């Protein structure tokens, strides 16, 4: 993660602005809209946290600690604080399967680097894609998009970035932010999120949607889902690629495309460590892809590389110190904030005050898409989908299939903040990006994504 270099006047200004914005909305919610006190406190926490993440007034991991601390001291009862139950309740996000899936991905990445296998993989890809910045950006985004149809977007991003890492900084010291580096580190996680809507197993919201569709008697198998999701996701992938190309003006050869080639003569030959890493990588990949055929979840599979790579000594204690612990804190804070939104009832209050019956079908689907993106940017897309579909199904007579698909697919398009999705957090942890670097792709997917979905389903 980038070393935090405070500019006191700037950071204090943005911290105070974030605080007073949250305080104003607290008073509006409590006194004007008569929201319950617990929900209003959570609204304050939501606005304050998101503002701090957006302005970078304090380091992102510090915001996560602030979230847990606020919940402990302002959302817990005095009786809870007398024992450890409150702390256990608000820090249980450390045991979230997402954290362990992330850790498994980082272990694989560490082993690729320590064995030198990452440079070999990078050389293969860069020989074919490194002829131009345009081709390199599209190729890496396409790989991320394609893999995420079968793998989780978290595992996909960890895989692609581990291949890319040697080219970013072969000496592990440079953190230059060229337009191509920014585009790659923003485009790869965005492509992984987009690819997830292509298949039935591409993301958890898809599985939730399939369950509700089945309950409604709407048959949608693996192939029929792909016929719907694949063209839409490919269109969004091209849209994001073009946006990054034009915004960052990636027209000419970038030095990044040549870095890995200069190291070709220094890349070591095959070793026993590389064979172990390669086999472990392959077994993990196969188990992730074939998830529906066995009883192991993706998070459980992530323990396989952690166990093998430590037992064989490929990943050692010095390597563990290199894990991005601040990223784990960042994700923990995002999960805790999402839990707070659910437990305070703030999401239910928001949804129940919308007059669904008076909205036309196109506007209704658009509204559902935008609400799904909004919720998924500040909480788990799984939780957002689980909340939205059952709450809105009664108002979707005749549009059940379209509404369920819009909610589920829109939930996968939330990429506005580093905490919006684990792929963003992984990319952010490399230390090249600021939180605001995600705003371009996040805004495009949040604004145009639901429009594309509604147009596709109602045309």
**What is the pLDDT confidence band of residue 176, given thresholds at 50, 70 and 90?**
low
pLDDT at position 130: 61
Residues whose CB is less than 8 angstroms from the CB of residue 321 and which lie 6 or more positions away in sequence, other chains included: none
Greatest Cα pair distance, the chain, in angstroms, is 69
| 264-292 burial code (b ≥16 CB/10 A, e <16) | eeeeeeeeebbebbbebbeebbebbeebe
Residues whose CB is less than 8 angstroms from the CB of residue 130 and which lie 6 or more positions away in sequence, other chains included: 136, 257, 258, 260, 261
Task: State percent of the chain over pLDDT 70.
Answer: 83
Can you tell me the distance from the alpha carbon of 176 to that of 169, in angstroms, rounded to the nearest whole number? 9
Residue 50 lies in a domain: yes
387 class by beta-carbon count within 10 Å (0-12 exposed, 13-18 middle, 19+ buried):
buried
User: Domain range spanning residue 25?
Assistant: 1-78
Residue 1 lies in a domain: yes
Residue 38 lies in a domain: yes
| Per-residue pLDDT reduced to its tens digit, 99-148 | 777 688 778 777 877 777 766 776 677 667 666 788 888 988 998 898 88
pLDDT at residue 226 is higher than 90: no
pLDDT at position 8: 59
Residue 34 lies in a domain: yes
Mean pLDDT of the chain, nearest integer: 80
Q: Which helix (H) or strand (E) holds 131?
A: none
Encoded tokens for 92:
């249980």
Section 64-83 average pLDDT? 81
Of 19, 78, 64, the residue nearest 44 (C-alpha): 19
To 5 degrees, how large is the angle CA 382–CA 327–CA 199? 35
Of 105, 113, 196, the residue nearest 159 (C-alpha): 105
To 5 degrees, how large is the angle CA 233–CA 98–CA 243? 30
Distances (CA, A) of 438 to 177, 184, 410, 427: 14, 11, 17, 10
Residue 69 lies in a domain: yes
Can you tell me the distance from the alpha carbon of 274 to that of 115, in angstroms, rounded to the nearest whole number? 6
Give the chain's domain count. 1
Can you tell me the distance from the alpha carbon of 384 to that of 232, in angstroms, rounded to the nearest whole number? 21
Residues whose CB is less than 8 angstroms from the CB of residue 427 and which lie 6 or more positions away in sequence, other chains included: 157, 161, 185, 186, 188, 189, 433
| pTM value > 0.75 | no
Residue 298 lies in a domain: no
9 class by beta-carbon count within 10 Å (0-12 exposed, 13-18 middle, 19+ buried):
exposed
Residue 329 lies in a domain: no
Of 256, 260, 251, 90, the residue nearest 177 (C-alpha): 256
| Per-residue pLDDT reduced to its tens digit, 365-418 | 898 899 999 888 877 787 678 777 877 777 777 888 898 899 999 999 999 988
Residues whose CB is less than 8 angstroms from the CB of residue 310 and which lie 6 or more positions away in sequence, other chains included: 107, 316
Contact between 290 and 169 under an 8 Å Cβ cutoff? The reply is no
pLDDT at residue 170 is higher than 60: no
**What is the pLDDT confidence band of residue 359, given thresholds at 50, 70 and 90?**
confident
Residue 25 lies in a domain: yes
Of 129, 145, 138, the residue nearest 234 (C-alpha): 145
Of 185, 163, 100, 107, the residue nearest 427 (C-alpha): 185
């Amino acid at each position: 993660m980038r070393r935090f270099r405070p500019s006191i006047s700037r950071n204090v200004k943005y911290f105070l602005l974030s605080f007073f914005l949250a305080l104003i909305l607290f008073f509006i919610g409590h006194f004007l809209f008569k929201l319950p006190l617990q929900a209003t406190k959570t609204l304050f926490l939501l606005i304050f946290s998101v503002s701090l993440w957006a302005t970078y007034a304090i380091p992102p991991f510090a915001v996560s600690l602030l979230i847990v601390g606020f919940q402990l001291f302002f959302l817990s009862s005095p009786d809870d604080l007398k024992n450890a139950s409150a702390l256990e309740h608000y820090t249980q996000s450390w045991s979230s399967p997402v954290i362990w899936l992330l850790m498994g991905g980082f272990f694989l990445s560490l082993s690729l680097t320590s064995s030198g296998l990452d440079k070999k993989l990078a050389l293969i890809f860069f020989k074919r894609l490194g002829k131009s910045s345009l081709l390199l950006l599209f190729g890496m985004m396409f790989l991320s998009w394609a893999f995420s149809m079968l793998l989780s977007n978290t595992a996909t991003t960890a895989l692609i970035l581990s291949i890319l890492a040697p080219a970013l900084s072969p000496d592990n010291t440079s953190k230059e932010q060229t337009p191509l580096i920014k585009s790659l580190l923003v485009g790869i996680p965005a492509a992984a999120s987009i690819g997830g809507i292509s298949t039935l197993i591409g993301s958890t919201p898809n599985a939730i949607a399939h369950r509700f569709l089945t309950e409604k008697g709407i048959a949608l198998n693996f192939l029929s889902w792909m016929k719907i999701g694949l063209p839409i996701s490919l269109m969004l992938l091209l849209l994001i690629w073009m946006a990054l190309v034009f915004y960052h003006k990636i027209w000419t050869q970038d030095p990044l495309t040549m870095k890995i080639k200069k190291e070709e003569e220094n890349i070591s030959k095959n070793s026993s460590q590389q064979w172990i890493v390669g086999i472990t990588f392959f077994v993990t990949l196969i188990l992730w892809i074939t998830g529906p055929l066995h009883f192991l979840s993706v998070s459980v599979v992530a323990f396989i590389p952690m166990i093998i790579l430590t037992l064989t000594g490929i990943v050692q204690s010095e390597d563990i110190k290199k894990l991005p612990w601040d990223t784990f804190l960042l994700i923990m804070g995002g999960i805790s904030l999402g839990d707070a939104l659910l437990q305070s009832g703030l999401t239910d209050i928001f949804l129940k005050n919308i007059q669904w019956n008076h909205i036309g079908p196109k506007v209704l689907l658009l509204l559902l898409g935008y609400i799904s993106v909004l919720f998924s940017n500040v909480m788990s897309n799984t939780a957002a989908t689980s909340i939205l579909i059952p709450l809105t199904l009664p108002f979707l007579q005749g549009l059940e299939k379209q509404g369920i698909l819009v909610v589920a697919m829109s939930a996968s398009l939330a990429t506005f903040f580093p905490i919006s999705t684990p792929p963003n957090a992984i990319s952010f942890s490399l230390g090249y990006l600021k939180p605001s670097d995600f705003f371009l792709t996040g805004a495009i997917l949040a604004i145009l994504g639901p429009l594309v979905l509604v147009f596709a389903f109602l045309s």
